[in-house]
Amino acid sequence: AQKITQTQPGMFVQEKEAVTLDCTYDTSDPSYGLFWYKQPSSGEMIFLIYQGSYDQQNATEGRYSLNFQKARKSANLVISASQLGDSAMYFCAMREGSGYGGSQGNLIFGKGTKLSVKP
């Protein structure tokens, strides 16, 4: 079974509108972390936002926020006021465990969502 599922292969959004990228995860570990990365056409992986499983509040980083619904095992990325430069692939990833031990900290990635922002 997939541990990270991103059900939207591609999405379009109008410039200046908000968009939500879906991510669901599967783990039995009570301690985990959820990450979103952006990959523009140039290919680099850019860290956007992080949510820990014990964090009480949803994470926010500028125009990015993470809608964390623990009971539903979902960690959707919300981008407010989309810009043309937001056009990219977006990957949701999970780290199982606290991150302080051996293999804990390695990331499991979803297949990504390609976001296109229309002017």
Q: With binding defined as CB under 8 A, does residue 107 bind another protein?
A: yes
CA distance 72 to 76: 11
The smaller minimum CB distance to another protein, of residues 15 and 54, is found at 54
The smaller minimum CB distance to another protein, of residues 14 and 116, is found at 116
- What's the burial of 119, exposed, middle or buried (CB within 10 Å: 0-12/13-18/19+)? exposed
- State which of residues 1, 28, 30, 43 lies at the interface with another protein (CB under 8 A): 43
Could you tell me where the beta strands, DSSP code E, fall in the chain?
4-5, 10-14, 19-21, 24-25, 32-39, 46-52, 60-61, 64-69, 74-79, 88-96, 107-109, 113-118
Strands 60-61 and 10-14, bridge-based pairing: unpaired
The smaller minimum CB distance to another protein, of residues 44 and 119, is found at 44
The smaller minimum CB distance to another protein, of residues 100 and 119, is found at 100
- State which of residues 80, 83, 106, 116 lies at the interface with another protein (CB under 8 A): 106
- State which of residues 7, 26, 29, 45 lies at the interface with another protein (CB under 8 A): 45
Q: With binding defined as CB under 8 A, does residue 79 bind another protein?
A: no
CA distance 50 to 66: 8
User: Which residues sit at the interface with another protein, rule CB under 8 A?
Assistant: 4, 33, 35, 37, 43-45, 47, 50, 52, 91, 93, 95, 99-100, 102-103, 105-112
